[in-house]
Amino acid sequence: MVASLHHVEVGRVDGPVVVLGTSLGTSTAMWDPQVRALAERCRVVVLDHRGHGGSGVVDGPATIDDLGGDVLVLLERLSIDRFSWVGLSLGGMVGMWLATRRPGRVERLALVCTAAHLPPAEAWLERAATVRRDGTAAIADAVVGRWFTPGFIAREPAVVDAHRAMLLATSPEGYASCCEAIAGMDLRPDLPAATVPTLVVAGADDPATPPSFAEEIAGGIPGARLEVVPDAAHLASVEQPALVTKLLVGHLVEGS
């Protein structure tokens, strides 16, 4: 069953389309540091995955095919045929699916702090069960501790609290179903089919998807470029917004 995805659209209506997919447990606001710079020259669409932010919830386990299908339905509704994709974590996984399953539609790809395969599946299924039973509050401390480095948590408590609030506002069923999609996902055999210009970004201090996961993606996608952002954990775009914005604008707009 397809979920109705909430989205925010800004920027130039006549510009090249850039679609941004969010991390597990966040909403469109996580991309706020990057949107303004991209919107100066692009038509920017930021979306919430199923069960996140303002998007609809579909009960039961999801697959990566389901999450990709949700996006395709939204893009059809917006009359968007060709687009570049930026995705962090879960958003990056969906981006790899789109680039390998619909290669003629993706122009450029930016994959931030993500993985093509993220075992063990049992850990994701256990997390899904915990959230369905006890809500996202039961995992909030552990998740936020992976999102940001300890130094950032100490320096920027308001930013950290805002992102914790995103997690707490996420539908438990929506969060759990996306965990189950990650549990069943292995995009590694498909990576060579992603033949578009690709930027892979890793946070140097990311415990959730360490740089070795980015190296695996960059090694599988022909011609992909790898950049490691220092002093950044999983939400590198939030912790190091200036550097990540520079990398994204260079890749998506300036072609560097």
pLDDT of residue 254: 79
Three-point CA angle 216, 204, 171, nearest 5°: 80
Spell out the domain ranges in the chain. 7-252
User: Are the CB atoms for 64 and 96 separated by under 8 Å?
Assistant: no
Residues 180-228 have pLDDT tens digits of 999 999 999 999 999 999 999 999 999 999 999 999 999 999 999 999 9
The yes-or-no verdict on residue 256 having pLDDT over 70 is no
Residues 144-169 have pLDDT tens digits of 999 999 999 999 999 999 999 999 99
Structurally, at CATH architecture level, domain 7-252 sits in: 3-Layer(aba) Sandwich (3.40)
Structure tokens at 40: 């100066």
User: Are the CB atoms for 148 and 235 separated by under 8 Å?
Assistant: yes
Pairing of strands 225-229, 106-112: unpaired
pLDDT of residue 54: 96
User: Which has the closest alpha carbon to 113: 142, 136, 147?
Assistant: 147
SS3 content of the chain, % helix, strand, coil (to 5): 50, 15, 35
- Backbone angles phi and psi of 92, in degrees to 5: -70, -35
